[in-house]
A and B are shown apart, each in its own frame.
Chain A
Amino acid sequence: MNAPTRYVDDSTKGFMIWSIIWGTVAVLVGILISLQLAWPQLNVAPYLTYGRLRPIHTNAGIFGWGIGSFIGLFFYITQRLTKTPLWSPGLARLTLWLFNIGIASAAVTLAMGINRTKEYAELEWPLALVVAVIWVLFSVNVFMTILKRKEEQMYISLWYIMAALVGVTVLYVINNLGVPLHLFKSYPIFAGTNDANVQWWYGHNAVAMVLTAPPLAIFYYFLPKVINNPIYSHRMGIIAFWSLIFMYLWTGAHHLLWTPVPDWIQTLAMAFSIMLIAPSWGAVFNGYLTMGGKWEQMKTNYLVKFLICGITFYGLQTLQGPMQAIRTFSAFIHYTDWVPGHVHMGTLGWVSMVLFAAMYYVTEKLNDTEIYSVKLADTHFWLVLVGQLIHSITMWTAGVQQGSMLLATNPDGSLHYSFMETMIAIFPYYKIRAISGFIYLAGLLVFIYNIYKTFQKGAVAQTAKA
């Protein structure tokens, strides 16, 4: 590193370590709940029942692993792209403390059954406030760094970061509006169909502003760095960016097809979901074309493998998503295991793959050293890839099978299968999915070991120098 500016990276390191810890919690709880679906005897105590654990899984995954690593990596990226040190390192350290207190309290309160039940906005109002404060502190820090920047041009990654800062704030605040009953309970200000419509406007845009824009920011920063090519097209980036953030907000009701939500909202959601293919694939192609002439690195550079695999799953995800938003297809797979198949291709295939690459890269840079073992990184790659593929493929199969059984009718219009028959048919898939979780976990442990060893190596090199 020969940059003239002194970057502050202690909080990046802290956020990375803690997000890996929360990510491991998410995976462990994920394995436990997937086992519970196959063996209900595993619901051993009230706070360990499936209904209470599932939100812990999703919150640890999205907030702990996802948002935690985004904050850390955005501190890193923003400083480099602006050639400016972080506006307030103290504030960043405070943010990390609050973050860990917040996630730990989230896990405890959800286990106690303190739960608003709105998906991805389960936390009761005091904790929701903490989450909002964390996000604002982080946003101010990043935004002030951008304001004070020394590099005039703002690179694509910064746009996605800024969109996420505004987007998440608006979404989270509105979906959490409620009236407190006491410290641990509140009721939303919206009722019934309104509440559902607000929830899924939030829910789907949490996908946009948390599981799409931030990983794209990270992808666009690290891919060019890793292969040492400039981004293929700045203009394509601009068009894709604005149309993406414009269209996403119209699509929430694709989670509510065939429900009492007014038809015209459903139809708009369906139409905009299909249009979203264009900007999504714009982003994918911009990535592929950036590889221009360097495709051989897919073999030689482990980071390229993670990044290109990640963007490919993003591409598949944004074809599958619009398909699920079509009424006839939704009738078939909505509410079935197909959807967890979609979800985990996104979270494990897209988001996590990109995060793994970024974390390897940043760990090398922070320690001024090479990764401890490329071979282990390769092993990690294959284990998480296979784990995720088995997970998604078994769930898609289960979803199609159960979906078609649930809709099957006899000539007289009566139903052909009882609910339990459809459920017994998918038990084998539940068991295979649980195994896939262990494979994924093995990959994650290899990753953690490799990162740990690299930090150790860096520390040794430092002492040797001193």
Chain B
Amino acid sequence: MLEKNPVIFIILAFVVIMIGTTVTMIAPFKWINGPADRIAEVKPYTPLQQEGRDIYMREGCNNCHSQTVRTLAADVERYGNGGSYSKSGEFVYDRPHLWGSRRTGPDLARIGLKYPDPNGMWHRKHMDNPQSVVPASNMPAYAFLNQPLNFAYSERKMKLLNFPYTRADLDELKGKSEMDAIIAYMRKLGTDLPTKKAEAATQAPAARNNPFSDLKAVKTEALSLYAKNCAACHGDKRQGSLGPTLKGSAKSDAELFAVISKGRAGMPSFGSSLDEQGIWKLVTLIKLGKHDD
């Protein structure tokens, strides 16, 4: 009979596909984003951040960047930037979600913790020309975002998404560029939750000593690390450009270690991309390499 009556067939096919749909897609609405998922610290986007998010969508950054730190140890270590793995409650204001399916570039769920500088100096340089910061990067240059932001719909967006906003939030949009908006969004990502590991990391190195006291022994390696990670901002010869000169320093080894591993203002943190030995080698180069090239 089934093979002879297309109307019954199509109804039955509909019923069959709705079973799995109901269990795995419809039923979960009851729990996901419910009270158990809520995290009080997580805040909705400001008008500027939401504009940035919309530009992120427009440019399809999600084709190369994911936004979920999985519960795997290696994920937390690499992309947690001191925070933990991603939790459902962090995404309740995300319409749509931007978790992505590819990591051609690194995960950005906690990128706000990595480059906390309020002026976004690192992001500006990187977005204008990624290869100037990371030479082998295949990320496209987004210098074209340095154009005025169109905020005609900002208030309507806030209303539609049901996000709180003030006049001042809207006034803040005047004179902003698209670049300002997308950087404001980058800087927000992952910063709502407290990070325990970041605090622990500041204390730890002070207790330890620099294992290298002879520059000669580590110079080649230190110079190559420097060229790869630091030259873009501190100059080819450590003479300083975006960041200050690194030919000698009055700071202690431990202080330098902390700045490099944790970052500060415009200085990104390298704690998750360089290992401890590497950072100590750089410290040695800075302290003892005052007269070397």
Instruction: List residues of chain A with CB under 8 Å of any chain B CB.
Output: 36-40, 43, 46, 49-52, 54-55, 113-119, 143, 146-147, 152-154, 158-159, 162-163, 165-167, 170, 179, 181-182, 185, 187-199, 201, 205, 238, 242, 245-253, 255-262, 265, 268-269, 272, 331, 335-336, 339, 406-407, 409-410, 413-415, 418-420, 423-424, 427
Cα of A251 to Cα of B20 in the assembled complex, Å: 8
Q: Which residues of B contact A199 (CB under 8 A)?
A: 96-97
A143-B6, A420-B134 known; A192 vs B13 contact (CB < 8 Å) = no
Q: Which residues of B contact A406 (CB under 8 A)?
A: 74, 78
- Chain B nearest CB from A46 CB (Å) reads 5
Q: Which residues of B contact A159 (CB under 8 A)?
A: 3, 9, 13
Interchain Cβ contacts under 8 Å between A and B, 25 examples: A40-B140, A43-B140, A55-B63, A143-B6, A153-B3, A153-B4, A154-B6, A159-B13, A170-B17, A181-B153, A187-B157, A190-B95, A192-B91, A193-B97, A205-B17, A245-B13, A246-B20, A252-B25, A253-B24, A259-B70, A265-B24, A335-B66, A413-B77, A414-B77, A424-B136
- Chain B nearest CB from A51 CB (Å) reads 3
Cα of A195 to Cα of B157 in the assembled complex, Å: 18
Q: Do residues A165 and B10 form an inter-chain contact, with CB atoms below 8 A?
A: yes
- Chain A nearest CB from B281 CB (Å) reads 15
Q: Do residues B19 and A249 form an inter-chain contact, with CB atoms below 8 A?
A: yes
Q: Which residues of A contact B7 (CB under 8 A)?
A: 147
Q: Do residues B161 and A187 form an inter-chain contact, with CB atoms below 8 A?
A: yes
A188-B96, A249-B21, A269-B24 known; A258 vs B70 contact (CB < 8 Å) = yes
Q: Do residues B140 and A201 form an inter-chain contact, with CB atoms below 8 A?
A: no
A51-B59, A190-B95, A409-B74 known; A146 vs B6 contact (CB < 8 Å) = yes
State which of B21, B92, B97, B153 has its C-beta within 8 Å of the C-beta of A182: B153
Q: Do residues B25 and A115 form an inter-chain contact, with CB atoms below 8 A?
A: no
Q: Which residues of A contact B37 (CB under 8 A)?
A: 193
Q: Do residues A423 and B63 form an inter-chain contact, with CB atoms below 8 A?
A: no
Of B99-107, B164-172, B212-220, the one contacting chain A is B99-107
Q: Do residues A192 and B74 form an inter-chain contact, with CB atoms below 8 A?
A: no
A187-B161, A201-B24, A415-B275 given. 6 additional CB < 8 A pairs? A50-B140, A192-B97, A193-B88, A196-B99, A197-B25, A418-B273
- Chain A nearest CB from B128 CB (Å) reads 13
Q: Which residues of B contact A37 (CB under 8 A)?
A: 104, 138
Q: Do residues B59 and A193 form an inter-chain contact, with CB atoms below 8 A?
A: no
Q: Do residues B32 and A197 form an inter-chain contact, with CB atoms below 8 A?
A: yes
Q: Do residues A252 and B24 form an inter-chain contact, with CB atoms below 8 A?
A: yes
- Chain A nearest CB from B105 CB (Å) reads 8
B245 in the interface (beta carbon within 8 A): no
Q: Do residues B33 and A192 form an inter-chain contact, with CB atoms below 8 A?
A: yes
Q: What size tier do the contact residues of chain B reach?
A: 35 or more
Q: Do residues B137 and A262 form an inter-chain contact, with CB atoms below 8 A?
A: no
- Chain A nearest CB from B118 CB (Å) reads 25
B292 in the interface (beta carbon within 8 A): no
A193-B91, A260-B68, A335-B66 known; A245 vs B24 contact (CB < 8 Å) = no
Cα of A195 to Cα of B228 in the assembled complex, Å: 39
Q: Do residues B28 and A51 form an inter-chain contact, with CB atoms below 8 A?
A: no
Q: Do residues B96 and A190 form an inter-chain contact, with CB atoms below 8 A?
A: yes
| Chain B residue with Cβ nearest A37 | B138
Q: Do residues B57 and A115 form an inter-chain contact, with CB atoms below 8 A?
A: yes
| Chain B residue with Cβ nearest A46 | B144
Q: Do residues B59 and A242 form an inter-chain contact, with CB atoms below 8 A?
A: no
Cα of A113 to Cα of B74 in the assembled complex, Å: 33
State which of A113, A201, A423 has its C-beta within 8 Å of the C-beta of B58: A113
Q: Do residues A51 and B61 form an inter-chain contact, with CB atoms below 8 A?
A: yes
Q: Do residues A415 and B74 form an inter-chain contact, with CB atoms below 8 A?
A: yes
B54 in the interface (beta carbon within 8 A): yes
Q: Do residues B86 and A191 form an inter-chain contact, with CB atoms below 8 A?
A: no
| Chain A residue with Cβ nearest B9 | A162
Q: Do residues A195 and B20 form an inter-chain contact, with CB atoms below 8 A?
A: no
Q: Which residues of A contact B90 (CB under 8 A)?
A: 192, 260
Q: Do residues A194 and B19 form an inter-chain contact, with CB atoms below 8 A?
A: no
A40-B137, A258-B72 known; A249 vs B275 contact (CB < 8 Å) = no
A51-B61, A187-B160, A250-B24 known; A40 vs B139 contact (CB < 8 Å) = yes
Cα of A143 to Cα of B5 in the assembled complex, Å: 11
Q: Do residues B91 and A260 form an inter-chain contact, with CB atoms below 8 A?
A: yes
